[in-house]
Structure 1
Amino acid sequence: MGRNDSSNPAEVYEHYLGPAIADPWTRVLLKYASPRRGESVLDLACGTGSVARQVAPMVGVAGRIVAIDISAAMLAVARALPAPAGAPIEWCEGDARRLELPDGIIDLALCQQGVQFFSDRAAAVAEMRRVLTDGGRAIISVWQALERHPVFEALFDATARHLGVPISAVDLSFSLGDAEELRALLGTTNFSKVEITPRSLEIHLPSPDRFVQLTVLGAATSIPAFTRLDETERFALVQAVAHEIASVVSQYGEGDELIFPMSTHIAVCASD
């Protein structure tokens, strides 16, 4: 494990975590969304654009996609990727709490693994509802609890211990894992109907020997405890954590892949 790998967290996220985790889960999300030709779509917390790129051909050239993220680095990677067929994508830097969009212009609002990171979740959900048309819908996915994900649980437990921070400082991805908490959050809006469904997928991550290194760097796109580390500190953390959780990682290693289940809640919300 070297120290000279790409230091750009957004690029690492796109090339390591994107194909193995974001892309297959996007396909699941879009099955619940059932995008229609000509629809206007919001991809909130779009990251490097997995959802936006996959939905573009589904709504076609008559559709519109607005992809918003707070991270300029993630958007830079998204813009640099080849444009998909179908609807043009408007890549916008913005805050989920205050969307710079008029009321009632979005037919379909999508948010994959973003709500748990918002500093004001209720405000962000209210904004999603505000921009929806009458009859529009919002589809939101959030990971289930950390204990449902033993590989990440081992990683974040060890990381928090080595950084001397509470687990809540590093496990933000899994911080909205209770379905009833999610339902209560969505209940703060005036969605006419909310349905929450649990789903699981088997994930295949390449390079088990670099799992800790690449996951810690990829997580620096959204987790302040990782973002603040310089290269030397990150290298020391990766070395210590990788050694500590090696036995857990080996349980899920098969050849040149790390294979384990991940579980999410998918909320389908109607605005009519």
Structure 2
Amino acid sequence: MDLQHSDKVFAGAIPEVYEALMVPMIFAPYAADMAARIAALQPRRVLELAAGTGVLTREIAGRLPAETLIVATDLNAPMLARAEQAGTSRPVHWREADAMALPFADASFDMVACQFGVMFFPEKGRAFAEARRVLVPGGTLIFNVWDQLEFNAFARDVTGALATLFPDAPPEFMARVPHGYHSQAAIEQDLRLGGFQSSPVFETVAATSRASAARIPAVAFCQGTPLRADLERRGPDALGRATDHCEQALLEAYGDGPLAGPMQAHVVMVTAPAG
């Protein structure tokens, strides 16, 4: 499996580690932020792309009225299965779907939302075009993306630690994909390719990532993301060595006990053409 393919694979043990460790550590604060923005717009039909294990789905299900339709999709069946297992406070529709070829009719939704998923879309302009197609005229696309690696402490520190462990071929998944799509100019260009004509609104949101011990982010990043596949290719003991090495680096940086580090993301909102 090449890197381009494995960068998008969330399978095997990854969904469980992701939900147990990554979600509370870095994703939950941004899910609450985005859900509040979505609820303020009072949508009637919401499509979520790249729902993962459902952290945003759970938030919007708890904030939107019972009569609001919520359809949560993901390309990775194991992640979607984990989301369904976790459940929501009221019914939502779960659907396996490719964001670049959505199985929905034109103008089916008045909002499309995506939390930290667009970075994984191979053809972002095409995915944005599909979001525009399924939106009603004047509907809203809202998504967020991580800022540069340097503004996200745990991801930065894990990436740096792995570079010292594998100096000849440093694992670059975090910089390449999750933190590789932060340029406002690039995002605006892709939105125009997708047919969005109005200027998007960008807002940078800073937050704090927290963990009870250094082992948590070490396991979370090394074993609960597609970085795992890269590490496993490096030998039968590479995943364990990498996790232990990252834990030690985090202990040296933050000490023995609870740790907290800054993180930063951009929220993007854009309106579909009126007609």
TM-score by length of 2: 0.84
1:217 and 2:220 matched: no
Q: CA, structure 1 residues 30+132, in 2 after alignment: closer, same or farther (shift >3 Å)?
A: same
1:243 and 2:244 matched: no
1:161 Cα deviation from its structure 2 partner:
5.2
d(CA) in 2 for partners of 1:26, 1:139: 12
Task: Note the alpha carbon deviations across 1:35-63, whole angstroms, 9 max, x for none.
Answer: 55561111100001111111123332211
Secondary structure class of the residue paired with 1:62:
coil
CA contact (8 A) 1:143 1:264 kept: yes
1:150 and 2:156 matched: no
Task: Note the alpha carbon deviations across 1:169-196, whole angstroms, 9 max, x for none.
Answer: 3431101122222222222233234111
1:235 Cα deviation from its structure 2 partner:
0.8
Identity %: 25
Secondary structure class of the residue paired with 1:174:
coil
Return 150-159 or 241-250, whichever deviates more. 241-250
1:124 Cα deviation from its structure 2 partner:
1.1
Match of 1:200 among 189, 198, 206: 206
Secondary structure class of the residue paired with 1:34:
helix
Q: Counterpart in 2 of 1:15? A: 20
Structure 2 portions without partners, runs of 5+: 1-11
Q: What do you get for the CA RMSD once the two structures are aligned?
A: 2.4
Q: Counterpart in 1 of 2:9? A: none
Task: Note the alpha carbon deviations across 1:37-96, whole angstroms, 9 max, x for none.
Answer: 5611111000011111111233322111111111111111111113313xx211111211
Match of 1:102 among 101, 105, 114: 105
1:143 Cα deviation from its structure 2 partner:
0.4
d(CA) in 2 for partners of 1:125, 1:38: 19
CA contact (8 A) 1:70 1:95 kept: yes
Question: Which amino acid in the other structure matches residue 100 of structure 2?
Answer: R
CA contact (8 A) 1:160 1:170 kept: no
d(CA) in 1 for partners of 2:105, 2:62: 24
Question: Which amino acid in the other structure matches residue 150 of structure 2?
Answer: E
Which aligned pairs between 1:84-99 and structure 2 lie closer than 5 A? 84-85=89-90, 88-99=91-102
Q: Counterpart in 2 of 1:54? A: 59
Secondary structure class of the residue paired with 1:125:
helix
Q: CA, structure 1 residues 147+167, in 2 after alignment: closer, same or farther (shift >3 Å)?
A: farther
Match of 1:177 among 157, 160, 182: 182
Match of 1:140 among 138, 143, 147: 143
Question: Which amino acid in the other structure matches residue 173 of structure 2?
Answer: A
CA contact (8 A) 2:57 2:72 kept: yes
Question: Which amino acid in the other structure matches residue 143 of structure 1?
Answer: W
1:268 Cα deviation from its structure 2 partner:
0.8
Return 160-169 or 131-140, whichever deviates more. 160-169
* Misfit runs of 4+, over 6 Å: none
d(CA) in 2 for partners of 1:245, 1:209: 8
Secondary structure class of the residue paired with 2:107:
coil
d(CA) in 2 for partners of 1:159, 1:70: 28
Report the count of equivalent residues. 259
Q: Counterpart in 1 of 2:47? A: 42
d(CA) in 1 for partners of 2:232, 2:34: 28
Task: Note the alpha carbon deviations across 1:195-232, whole angstroms, 9 max, x for none.
Answer: 11111012222322332122211113x77525757873
Q: CA, structure 1 residues 68+128, in 2 after alignment: closer, same or farther (shift >3 Å)?
A: same
Q: CA, structure 1 residues 117+219, in 2 after alignment: closer, same or farther (shift >3 Å)?
A: same
CA contact (8 A) 2:111 2:135 kept: yes
Question: Which amino acid in the other structure matches residue 62 of structure 1?
Answer: E
Return 172-181 or 26-35, whichever deviates more. 26-35
Q: CA, structure 1 residues 237+16, in 2 after alignment: closer, same or farther (shift >3 Å)?
A: same
Q: Counterpart in 2 of 1:118? A: 121
